[in-house]
Homo-oligomer: A and B are copies of this chain.
Amino acid sequence: MPRVTVHRKAHFNAAHRLYRKDWSDEKNFEVFNKCSNPNYHGHNYELIVSLTGEIDKETGYVYDLGKLKKLIKIEIEEVFDHKNLNLEVPEFKDLNPTAENIVVVIYNKLRKHISLSLDLEVRLYETPRNFVTYSGN
């Protein structure tokens, strides 16, 4: 059967700041500029989750997108939406929440719920002009 990629778009709003605990505020500002504002700033994050695999002959689906919508809701949206990433998402307790680190965290959280017969890619828009993509390599 043909291998097709199915994509599902989702979103969440969150606050964050870029900084390392082991650096001074000056060093953080020097490297991360206004993104290191100690009072936080925030984004409407847009997320695209993509799964590649063979079409199931029975259903004509690679993966039920309704099921994928629910998985993203439970694993990602309910954990990240309207949250402060630095303070409220445990993965970022000691990890700087750059877009790159966030997309890897999201990938890892989804990967364990998706059969290995399916390739997974995650794209995360921090703003319409800045975005990142990760596929587990």
Listed in ascending order, the chain A residues whose CB lies under 8 Å from chain B are: 2-11, 13-16, 18, 31-35, 37, 39-44, 50, 55, 59-62, 65-66, 81-84, 87-88, 95-101, 103-104, 127-134, 136-137
Contacting residue for A40 out of B15, B34, B104, CB 8 A:
B15
Of chain B, the residue at the smallest CB distance from A46 is B128
A-side interface mostly? mixed
> B96 near A60 (CB under 8 angstroms)?
yes
A131 to B130, CA, bound (A): 19
Alpha-carbon distance A18/B7, docked complex (angstroms): 18
B39 near A41 (CB under 8 angstroms)? Answer: no
Question: Within the assembled complex, what's the spacing in Å between the Cα atoms of A132 and B85?
Answer: 27
Contacts A43-B44, A132-B4 hold; do A15 and B18 have CB atoms under 8 A apart?
Answer: no
- Contact A15–B39 (Cβ < 8 Å): yes
Do A84 and B39 touch across chains, with their CB atoms under 8 A apart? yes
- Report the nearest B residue to A102, measured CB to CB: B60
Provide the bound-state CA to CA distance between A21 and B39, in Å: 18
Given A13-B42, A42-B43, decide whether A60 and B98 contact each other with a Cβ distance below 8 A: yes
Closest B residue to A133 by CB, please name it.
Answer: B5
Collect the chain B residues with CB atoms within 8 Å of residue A132's CB. Answer: 4-7, 62
